[in-house]
Chain A
Amino acid sequence: MSVDTNPELRPLLAALEEVILGKERQIRLAVCCLLARGHLLIEDIPGVGKTTLSQALAQLLGLSHQRVQFTSDLLPADILGAAIYDEQERAFRFHPGPIFHQVVLADEINRASPKTQSALLEAMEEGRVSIEGETHPLPEPFFVIATQNPFHQHGTFPLPESQLDRFLMRISLGYPDPRAERRLLAGEGGGDVLRGLPPCASGGKLSHWQEEVTALHVSPPLLDYVQALLRHSREAGEYQSGLSPRAGLGLLRAARAWAFLAGRDSVWPDDVRAVLEAVAAHRLGGVALESGARRLLEAVAVP
């Protein structure tokens, strides 16, 4: 019943699936995150298609796209931009950094210093950049896809929990299944295919969708369910940290977007369940993140 797809979004999803093979669920989650005006953290080893995904999203939606490779010597100004003195105008002029694009891929975010990380995340959160007393709004829509290497790699600064909370979702793409990998090896999918694809929508269209998502109906019983999930995460004692109110809001937003993707005009518990792992796992802490989210789902009754 919930595998339906909003006909408006069908071409976009289809095109994305042409590019990233065998990852329907992750694609859906990424689009869902975008529709919910959230930012996406992809935690994965290199080479599974993170960059391609962000590129594909930007291109198919007709958005401007910039990739920033984070390194340990990357400075905040390298991302945000800087005010530089203009000799001719005898004034400081703001040179926007790579963040002033609609889709920003922050590759290997945990390689940069905490200072740089927090500069990016602050801008993400506030939707603007303030430099030398001047405020520069970020473009609309604005979508950050950050990628992160698994923690055990050397020379990394893992994002602290407070920063993780800024990402609506955290997903991992993982290895493709054998069938998808075979297609990949046979030359299907990937960046080459993407280059031949026309945009499926525009930034204006995306904004419109985002508006619709916000307006989606949420019934009292569904709020009961979300609240019960939040309460359980805090009271069960199984998790390092309970879900914050922001996490609750994020969960609801993501669920709305998921329902919109499914072409419905109201949110069902199924939507909450579909996005819970992506939204909540990185906030619950602990080692076995995914199974923690799953445990939460099994423990709370659906009203």
Chain B
Amino acid sequence: MTETAGSRQAHEPVSPSPFGREAGGEGKTPLASSTPTPLPEGEGLRGRTKSAPDGKNGGHAIVLSLDPRRLRFLLAVLLLAVLPHLWHLHWSHTALFLGFWAWRRLGIARPRLLPRGVWLPLLTLSAAGVVIVTRHGAIDLTTSTGLFVAGLGLKLMELKSGRDVYFTVLLGWFVILTQFLYDQSLGMAAWALAGVSLLTAALVRFDAAGWLGWRRLARHVAILVAPAVPVMVLLFLFFPRPQGGFIHLPFGASARTGLSEVMEPGAVSRLAASAEVAFRVDFDGAPPPPAQRYWRAQVFWRFDGRRWLAHPAMRRPAPRPPPGGGREWRYQVTVEPHHRRWLFSLGTPASIPPEAVLTRDGVLLSPDPLDERIRYALRSRERYRFSPLTSLERRAALQLPAPPSGRIQALVATLGGGDDPEAFAASVLAWFRDRGFRYTLNPGALGGHPVESFLFETRAGFCEHYASAFVYLMRAAGIPARIVGGYMGGFVNPRGGFLEVYQANAHAWAEIWVEGKGWVRVDPTRAVAPAYVEQVQSLDEPLTESAAERLTRSHPEAVRKEEKKAGIQNDWPRRVRILLSAIDHRWHLWVLGYDRRAQARLLGWLGERWPGLVLSLAGLLAWRLRRRASPSPDPLTAAYDRFLRRLGRKGLVKAGAETPAAFARRAARTFPQWAEQIDTVTRLFLQAHYGRGDRRRAARALQAALRRWRP
């Protein structure tokens, strides 16, 4: 198989490249270069070239009209490309575009309707006016994108020649690009990829001589788009990334749900039904047990009788985290933008990521509001050795808006007083449990003294009420205490292996100061509704209100049984949601999370290894060139060779000098059970290879036969 193998290929019919016949034509207009011969009927850009009066070459005037069928395709594709902006832009801007679009669409059948002459500049000016007026003159992202989209609509008004088509497609590509300014999700990327491909398809359709079917169209588009992929990857990896991303996007600060700066009744409960992801955590190793999943974000010190507030002095940065002991967890947190500064840590953090500062009360703060997704690595320990309370801290942790009333003092006394903080905390929790306190997301309004009316009258509330009342009682008993806000629990995504924490996991609990131990976490809600807390800690979606109510009353075991009976753990929408969430997380991690530092890491890594990389790249290139020098196997012989390899694996090898027919006879004798398939394959090959059969078709038939036959 030496010299003959090569010469066999020399007779292969060379399939013309999709644009082969359009090569050349330099010095002509784009139209002339794309169609060198008189145009057949149905040409994309119908028209003819007239010599200009001066008769000079290159001075062609073009008389054109666009093929309606192709134009309809282009318009449909443009509509798809602009569609996502419906959610991003001012409604009037999209309305402008849609109006122009519809106008042009009508104009296909009735060209007289299209504006011309002085109407075009008039329309342009008024459209620009509308855009600017609706934005009150503000020149920002929305305005500029609005102008751009309206401009694309206007361009459609004068869509007359091939050049206009090229320009419109170019604008369409840009419109798709602008959508990434608003949305960088995976879905948007998929939509953009589809949009770019379809616009390219429109371009190909206009440039092709005949009307291309979908299959050929897809092939041409793939040929055009595929070479862009490596360029895209290289640009993605190496294009310099400015600090803080390309553009600071003007998001409305209240656009999303999340914790609020101040804790007052209702601040957390309004999140209870939100399925939005707050943040995700990837653990190096196993995640901590559910009971340990308390995510600190805020510490509240000051109580004004109704609301809990942070303490400005405690917000000052701490030089280093307290020394820790016990188990250590290493993890990376990916926080969804919440437009506030706090970051989340499992308990008190044992390290400070470079993106954040650690406050004196042990929470992490970002220097800027989180308008973009952020990811940071962190460590946490099981225990810490806190330095003794300063007098300021002690004062802040004992602060009360007014001296406790007699009723409160009597209660504190009945529960044993504050000499032993932990014993007192235990008796308060027991009191909650025994005195008919219940957990509900819809407590009635509280009276003038919210804590007292909760403790002695309504006895119904949720985590904020319990944390608030608990800390109040602690302080009344002289035990330093503070409220911690954040999230509790998290659902381990079985597809991604990461922990997902939803807004519905928002929670408030308490920390009390125990001499010799430091700050100790106490969750009073757990004492009241253990089943509820346990569920929330490992739940993958917010509970319905009725489920929450049920959970607050039942024992955890009973709930789990009930849940199994209902088959909650097996329904497919939940599975789809889990899968999508996992994909989304990876997308954020690997694509959007590739920031300046990740790039610097990659460049550093490359810097150490570049000689080896250059060498292997050169080797790859040389190999490619050598491969190109030898003719690529034609599909027919390639398919037949596959057949030979398949039999070869079964121990039957065709000798070089053996003819296919002779080999087939031998093979059929050896494997009588496959005689039919062997005969079919050989016949197909022989008829096309030595006969007049069509090689391509035979190759396809042969491939199909091989697919059907799995020895």
Are A302's CB and B660's CB within 8 A?
yes
B657 touches A221 (CB 8 A): no
Of the listed stretches B275-283, B394-402, B585-593, B661-669, name the one at the interface; the rest are far from the partner chain: B661-669
Q: Are A224 and B7 in contact (CB under 8 A)?
A: yes
Residue on A with the closest CB to B654? A302
For residue B686, which residues in chain A have a CB less than 8 angstroms away from its CB? Answer: 268
Chain A residue nearest to B11 (CB atoms) is A220
CB-CB contacts below 8 Å: B661-683 with A? 661-662, 664-665, 679, 682-683
The one of A1, A2, A298, A303 in contact with B4, judged by C-beta atoms closer than 8 angstroms, is A303
A265 contact set on B, CB distance < 8 A: 691-692
B3 sits at the interface (CB 8 A): yes
Chain A residues with CB under 8 A of B661: 1-2, 268-270
Question: Which B residues from 482 to 531 make CB contacts under 8 A with A?
Answer: none
Asked if B387 is at the interface of the complex by the 8 Å CB criterion, the answer is no
B2 within 8 A of A: yes
Q: How far is the CB of B2 from chain A (nearest CB, A)?
A: 7
Does A219 lie within 8 Å of B1, measured CB to CB? no
Q: In whole angstroms, what is the CA distance A32 to B92 when docked? A: 86
B657 touches A297 (CB 8 A): yes
- B662-A270 in contact (CB<8A): yes
- When each residue 1-26 of chain B gets 1 if its CB lies under 8 Å from chain A and 0 otherwise, what string results? 11111011011000000000000000
Interfacial chain B residues near A267, Cβ < 8 Å = 690
- A249 interface contact, C-beta 8 A: no
Q: Given known contacts A221-B689, A266-B692, is B2 in contact with A301 (CB within 8 Å)?
A: yes
Q: Are A1 and B690 in contact (CB under 8 A)?
A: no
A208 at the interface (CB under 8 A from B): no
Which residue of chain B is the closest to A267 with respect to CB atoms? B690
- Are B3 and A1 interface neighbours, CB within 8 A? no
Residues of A within 8 A of B656 (CB): 301-302
Taking CB as reference atom, which chain B residue is nearest A269?
B659
Range of interface residues on chain B? Answer: 20 to 34
Q: Is B41 an interface residue (CB 8 A)?
A: no
Q: How far is the CA of A303 from the CA of B636 in the complex (A)?
A: 12
Within 8 A of B (CB), among A201-244: 217, 219-222, 224-225, 227-228, 231
CA distance A228 to B10 in the complex (A): 14
Contacts of B7 in A (CB 8 A): 224, 227, 303
A281 to chain B, nearest CB (A): 17
Q: Are B691 and A219 in contact (CB under 8 A)?
A: yes
Task: Assess whether A269 is in contact with B3, with CB atoms less than 8 Å apart.
Answer: no
Minimum C-beta distance from B692 to chain A (A) = 5
Q: Counting chain B CB atoms within 10 Å of each CB, which of A1, A273, A300 scores highest? A: A1
| Contact indicator B690/A224 (Cβ below 8 Å) | no
Q: How far is the CB of B195 from chain A (nearest CB, A)?
A: 45
Q: Find out whether the CB atom of A268 lies under 8 angstroms from the CB atom of B3.
A: no
CB distance from B529 to the nearest CB of A (A): 82
Q: Is the CB of B662 within 8 A of A219?
A: no
Asked if B657 contacts A1 (CB within 8 A), the reply is no
In angstroms, Cα B11 to Cα A228, docked, is 15
The reply on B658 being an interface residue by CB < 8 A is: yes
Please, which residues of chain B bring their CB within 8 A of the CB of A1?
A: 661, 664-665, 679, 682-683
* A217 close to B657 (CB less than 8 A): no
Bound: A124/B5 CA distance, A:
39
A219 to B685: give the CA distance in the assembly, Å.
13
Residues on B with beta carbons closer than 8 Å to the beta carbon of A217: 691-692
Query: Does A14 sit within 8 A of B, measured CB to CB?
Result: no
CB of A193 within 8 A of chain B?
Answer: no
Contact B2 A270 (CB under 8 A): no
Instruction: List residues of chain B with CB within 8 A of the CB of A220.
Output: 8, 10-11
Q: How far is the CB of A246 from chain B (nearest CB, A)?
A: 22
B696 to chain A, nearest CB (A): 15
Q: Is the CB of B1 within 8 A of A301?
A: yes
Q: Which residues of A contact B664 (CB under 8 A)?
A: 1
Query: How near does chain B come to A242, taking the closest CB pair, in angstroms?
Result: 16
The reply to whether the CB of A83 lies closer than 8 angstroms to some CB of chain B is: no
Minimum Cβ distance to chain A for residue B190 (Å): 45
Contact indicator A273/B690 (Cβ below 8 Å): no
Chain B: CB-nearest residue to A3: B665
B655 CB to nearest chain A CB (Å): 8
Q: Is A197 an interface residue (CB 8 A)?
A: no
A266 to chain B: closest residue by CB: B691
Could you show 19 A-B contacts with beta carbons less than 8 Å apart?
A: A1-B661, A220-B8, A220-B11, A221-B689, A224-B8, A228-B3, A265-B691, A266-B691, A266-B692, A267-B690, A268-B660, A268-B686, A269-B660, A270-B661, A270-B662, A301-B2, A301-B5, A302-B656, A303-B5
Q: Which are the 7 A-B pairs with shortest beta-carbon distances?
A: A220-B11, A266-B691, A301-B656, A303-B4, A269-B659, A303-B8, A1-B661
Known: A1-B683, A270-B662. 14 other contacts (CB 8 A): A1-B661, A1-B665, A219-B692, A221-B8, A228-B4, A265-B692, A268-B659, A269-B659, A300-B657, A301-B2, A301-B657, A302-B660, A303-B5, A303-B8
